[in-house]
Amino acid sequence: MKQLHLNRENGMVFDPRTGKRFRVNETGAGLLKGWQLGKSSESLLEELMEQHEISLNDAERYFQQFVRQCTLAGLPVPESGKSKSPTAVLRNTTAA
Amino acid sequence: MTAAPTNPITVAITGVAATENPGPGIGVARSLRLWAGPQIRLVALAYDAAECLALAGELFDHVFLMPYPGQGVESTLDRLKEIHAEVPMNFLIPCLDVEIPLLLAAKAQLTEMGIDSCLPSKTAYARRNKNQLSALSEKLGISVPETIVITHPGEIIPATKKLGFPLFVKGNQYGAKKVFTLTELQNEVEASTRQWGYPILLQQAVLGTDMLLAGLGNGRGGLSCGAVALRKEHQTSQGKLWNALTVQCPWLQDAAEAFVAETEWEGPFEFECLLGDDGSAWLIEINPRFPAWIHAGTLLGVNLPACLVGRLNQQEERVPDLIPAGKWVVRSICETVLDQDPMNQLISEGKYCHAENI
């Protein structure tokens, strides 16, 4: 994920391992940048909820949709994005 | 990058066709000229006068016509001796697949003449032949599409039952054509065997994007001066590279490193692979020479032809440079105007010399 070339101004994403290029919107670019910075899924979900004033359920739905799109595109989605339910992570964190 | 030579050297280069299907020799020459400027004398060894007109007097100091490789080792050696008497050559860089076995057979005589070259061993060369690639690929950790070697027309139909359509018909040295029907296949086999003879290879057609890597084996199991990898974005009607993107592809690099380690490959090579949409990687061919796009690597900081000549010239090797990923490689054409007529001289005398070098 850290190897991805991300241009936040125009949303262009380049995977240097495969040469594939993608375009993401501002929210997608924010998520990719967050992953590159090593942010956790719960922190990214919180940012989504805050920035777009949406519920946790909606944030999780959009988040998982993005993860699926990244996976289909062959992008290296971090384990925190793939294997755990962000809601569960967030809820666990909240509960703690 | 390898330091420019301090001694004057003369390098002969083949594969110099400057046509819509450019030979690798042009990129090799451009890279060497960029590296050493006038310190290096470049000699083009061409098979066809018309194919190299654009280069006469521009990139090369001398152009000599050669007998076609099909005329055999003796014929090639005799011509090289004539050329060498006129323009003493230090090094020879073969840039066409079919020349490698010829030069391997003539290696001792070339050394005796004082012409050094960088060639793989006969065994290493044979192991990357298309009909032996499947066995080699197992050692490299990369798959080859299912391939059936055909030595007789009677083997065609049983092979199609196994492979299905579409499939590729490949000559063992040159050529690859995709066919979709039995009639197309039989016609293509006939055309290919008429030109190259048997064996013919029938190969499962795998869908994917072309991924290419150029490297230089040091003959001791390692790479010299790094490698250059591209993802082909657009190609010409002949399937030749038009536009590409530079990549840093771990599986491609790993396979290339495994190849030079396994075969102790000495000299240039090109990996041609496919990356499937599902992420699967396939090895299609290993060419025993620089690719025609080699100058792109030079422009990006990895001058493999200079590294090769630097090695032959006993110069110190530098730490490999890394090519940045995401750079566009664009092939374009340009017109050249010449004051002299190189065609007449090339055809009548078998050579052309730039006026300043006569």
In a domain, B72, yes or no: yes
Q: Which helix (H) or strand (E) holds B225?
A: strand B223-235
Same-domain pairing of B55 and B91? yes
In a domain, B295, yes or no: no
Do the beta carbons of residue B130 and residue B147 sit within 8 Å? yes
Interface test with A, best of B233, B245, B322 (most A CBs within 10 A): B245
Q: At B20, phi and psi to the nearest 5? A: -70, -15
Under the banding of pLDDT at 50, 70 and 90, the label for residue B56 is: low
**Helix A86-95 vs helix A56-72: angle between axes, to the nearest 10 degrees?**
140
- Whether residues A16 and B209 touch (CB distance < 8 A) is answered with no
- Whether residues A19 and B209 touch (CB distance < 8 A) is answered with yes
Average pLDDT over chain B reads: 90
- Whether residues B279 and A14 touch (CB distance < 8 A) is answered with no
Under the banding of pLDDT at 50, 70 and 90, the label for residue B74 is: very high
Interface test with B, best of A5, A12, A17 (most B CBs within 10 A): A17
- Whether residues A19 and B250 touch (CB distance < 8 A) is answered with no
Residue A93 has pLDDT above 50, yes or no: no
CA distance A76 to B219: 35
Under the banding of pLDDT at 50, 70 and 90, the label for residue B192 is: confident
> Three-state SS for B198?
coil
Same-domain pairing of B16 and B87? yes
CB crowding B38-60: b at 16 or more within 10 Å, else e: eebbbbbbbbebebbbbbbbebb
Do the beta carbons of residue B16 and residue B29 sit within 8 Å? yes
In a domain, B54, yes or no: yes
Quick one: A93 exposed, middle or buried, by C-beta within 10 A (0-12, 13-18, 19+)?
middle
Do the beta carbons of residue B152 and residue B137 sit within 8 Å? no
- Whether residues A3 and B250 touch (CB distance < 8 A) is answered with no
Same-domain pairing of B28 and B64? yes
Quick one: B87 exposed, middle or buried, by C-beta within 10 A (0-12, 13-18, 19+)?
middle
Domain boundaries, chain A: 26-95
CA distance B241 to B326: 16
Q: How many domains does chain B have?
A: 2
What is the arithmetic mean of pLDDT over B263-280?
Answer: 94
Residue-level pLDDT at B290: 98
What is the arithmetic mean of pLDDT over B95-112?
Answer: 95
CA distance A37 to A62: 20
In a domain, B219, yes or no: no
Residue-level pLDDT at B354: 66
Give contacts of B249 with chain A, Cβ < 8 Å: 16-19
Other C-beta atoms lying within 10 Å of the C-beta of residue B193: 16
- Whether residues A16 and B325 touch (CB distance < 8 A) is answered with yes
| pTM for the full predicted model | 0.86
Residue B54 has pLDDT above 70, yes or no: no
Range of the domain at B182: 146-204
Least reliable range by pLDDT among B262-266, B287-291, B315-319: B315-319
Closest among B233, B214, B195, B219 to B304, alpha carbons compared: B214
Same-domain pairing of B110 and B155? no
Residue-level pLDDT at A88: 38
Least reliable range by pLDDT among A70-74, B31-35, B304-308: A70-74
- Whether residues B231 and A19 touch (CB distance < 8 A) is answered with yes
What is the arithmetic mean of pLDDT over B219-241?
Answer: 91
In a domain, B159, yes or no: yes
- Whether residues B250 and A17 touch (CB distance < 8 A) is answered with yes
Q: Which of B188, B204, B220 is the last residue of a domain?
A: B204
Residue B130 has pLDDT above 50, yes or no: yes
Residue B84 CB contacts under 8 Å (≥ 6 apart), including other chains: B113, B114, B115
CB pairs A-B closer than 8 Å = 32
Closest among B165, B127, B133, B166 to B147, alpha carbons compared: B133
Q: Name residue B198's amino acid.
A: Y
CA distance B39 to B58: 15
In a domain, B278, yes or no: no
Question: Which tokens belong to B123?
Answer: 């065994």
Q: Which of B178, B204, B230 is the last residue of a domain?
A: B204
Same-domain pairing of B76 and B13? yes
CA distance B342 to B53: 7
Q: What CATH number has the domain bearing residue B66?
A: 3.40.50.20
Same-domain pairing of B82 and B154? no
CA distance B107 to B99: 12
Residue B250 has pLDDT above 90, yes or no: yes
Chain B's closest residue to A6, CA to CA, is B326
> Three-state SS for B330?
strand
Same-domain pairing of B45 and B105? yes
- Which residues in A have their CB inside 8 Å of a CB on B? 3, 5, 14, 16-19, 21, 74
In a domain, B307, yes or no: no
Q: Which of residues 68-87 of B touch A (CB under 8 A)?
A: none
From A91's Cα to the closest Cα of chain B, the distance in A is 34
Residue B304 CB contacts under 8 Å (≥ 6 apart), including other chains: B31, B214, B215, B216, B224, B225, B228, B268, B290, B294, B297, B298
Sheet strand arrangement including B241-246: B281-287, B266-275, B209-218, B223-235, B241-246, B328-330
Residue-level pLDDT at A81: 62
Other C-beta atoms lying within 10 Å of the C-beta of residue B133: 20
Q: What percent of chain B has pLDDT over 70?
A: 96
Residue B248 has pLDDT above 70, yes or no: yes
- Whether residues A16 and B275 touch (CB distance < 8 A) is answered with no
Could you tell me where the beta strands, DSSP code E, fall in B81-182?
91-93, 116-117, 147-150, 167-171, 176-179
Q: Which of B158, B176, B204 is the last residue of a domain?
A: B204
- Whether residues A5 and B245 touch (CB distance < 8 A) is answered with no
Residue-level pLDDT at A3: 85
The ipTM is 0.72
In a domain, B13, yes or no: yes
Q: At A27, phi and psi to the nearest 5? A: -65, -45
| pLDDT tens-place string over residues B9-19 | 999 999 998 88
Residue-level pLDDT at B345: 77
Residue A89 has pLDDT above 70, yes or no: no
Q: At B12, phi and psi to the nearest 5? A: -95, 140
A1 vs A50, higher pLDDT: A50
For residue A16, give the nearest of B209, B211, B247 by CB distance: B247
Give contacts of B230 with chain A, Cβ < 8 Å: 19
CA distance B104 to A59: 65
Same-domain pairing of B91 and B179? no
Same-domain pairing of B103 and B190? no
Do the beta carbons of residue B202 and residue B160 sit within 8 Å? yes
